[in-house]
Amino acid sequence: EPEVTQTPSHQVTQMGQEVILRCVPISNHLYFYWYRQILGQKVEFLVSFYNNEISEKSEIFDDQFSVERPDGSNFTLKIRSTKLEDSAMYFCASGGVHEQYFGPGTRLTVT
């Protein structure tokens, strides 16, 4: 069964550094998403991406975040200058109109 994959599973970085989180969505899906889950809190929507551009973004997705689909398979989330409060589990998802399938997540730890 096709699945969404994410790399790395765990990323540790120092405050102020740039990080890139990578995702390979399910191949025939058209919509791509990023979410985050701070430890002990709810899953929060960051951004959706369709037809090679951002479709919707939340208030969390400020100028320090960017997304890219650099080739036909990968979908990346870049955080330009990480802050301590960016420490969270980041989930990629892909899907169609009524379904979103999630990857296993990348745990980002900012020290």
Partner 1 sequence: GNSVTQMEGPVTLSEEAFLTINCTYTATGYPSLFWYVQYPGEGLQLLLKATKADDKGSNKGFEATYRKETTSFHLEKGSVQVSDSAVYFCALANSGGGADGLTFGKGTHLIIQP
Among residues 7 and 44, whose Cβ is nearest to partner 1? 44
What is the DSSP-derived secondary structure letter of residue 19?
E
Minimum distance between the CB of residue 5 and partner 1, rounded to whole angstroms? 10
Among residues 76 and 102, whose Cβ is nearest to partner 1? 102
**Chain residues that interact with partner 1, rule: CB under 8 A:** 4, 30-31, 33, 35, 41-48, 50, 55-56, 58, 91, 93, 95-105
- The end-to-end CA distance of the chain, in Å, is 37
Q: Where are the beta strands (DSSP E) in 25-74?
A: 31-37, 43-50, 53-57, 65-68
Among residues 14 and 97, whose Cβ is nearest to partner 1? 97
Among residues 72 and 98, whose Cβ is nearest to partner 1? 98
Which H helix or E strand runs over 29? none
Residue 103's closest CA among 87, 95, 92, 88?
92
Minimum distance between the CB of residue 104 and partner 1, rounded to whole angstroms? 4
Structure token digits, residue 8: 């790395």
Minimum distance between the CB of residue 102 and partner 1, rounded to whole angstroms? 4
